[in-house]
Structures are given as C-alpha cells and as structure tokens.
Amino acid sequence: MSYQDALADITRQQFEDYKNRFLPVQEQLFDLATNDTLLTEQMERNGQSIDRAFNQSKQSESMALGRYGLAPDNSKQDSNNTGLLKSLTTASVNNETRSSVDDLQNKILTGQGGAPKGLAEIGNK
C-alpha cells in the first residue's frame, strides 16, 4: 500500500466518522437555530413558572395574615392589581426569553463558543 492509498483511506475514514458522529449533531443544532422549538418550549415553562410563583405568593400571604386572624383582601381591585402584575411579569419574562433564545440561535449559527453548552443546559432542564 502506497502513501497516497493510506492517506486516501484515512481521509475516507475521517469523512465517514464525520458523517456518523458530527453531522447529526450539526444538523440538530442548525434545526434548533432555525426554528421556534426552543422559544415555544421555554414560553410554556415561563407560563407554568409564573402561575406557580403567583399561587405560592397568594398562599404565603394568606398564611401570614392567618397568623393574626386576618384574611387576605379579595376585593375586585386586589384581583385586578394581581392580574395586571401577572400580565406585566409574563410580558417581561417572555421578552427576556425571546432575546435570550435569539442570542443563543445567533451563537449557534455563527459558531461562537458556549452555544452548545447553553443548549446542553437547556436540554437538561
């Protein structure tokens, strides 16, 4: 076997290795960078987290007032204020999410460091 044949075999093996191990990962990263999957999933988690936080806050307030024999003010105004605060919180969190996902997708497309690590952290949640 000549030097050229050995080099050709190594090159073919490297290309096969690339196609089998690296290309699927690159395609997955490109798909994540060009569709709204990450954004949609995170927006759903945002809604759940905000609902959970507001419910815990309401329960904590009720428990704290209950220690003094009081009940929380469940007036229409209080309900409106809570609804407005929840809406503002949701809008703010979702805007931050859009910005973060956009930055991550740009890092994936441009090959900047840390994008695969960021994806790995998102995938583990």
For 39-50, what is the mean pLDDT? Answer: 94
pTM across the whole model: 0.68
Q: Of 87, 107, 105, nearest to 97 (Cα)?
A: 105
User: Residue 124, SS3?
Assistant: coil
Tens-place pLDDT, residues 83-109: 999 999 999 999 999 999 998 888 888
Neighbours of 91 (CB within 10 A): 10
Burial class (CB in 10 A: 0-12, 13-18, 19+), 21: exposed
One-letter amino acid at 112 equals Q
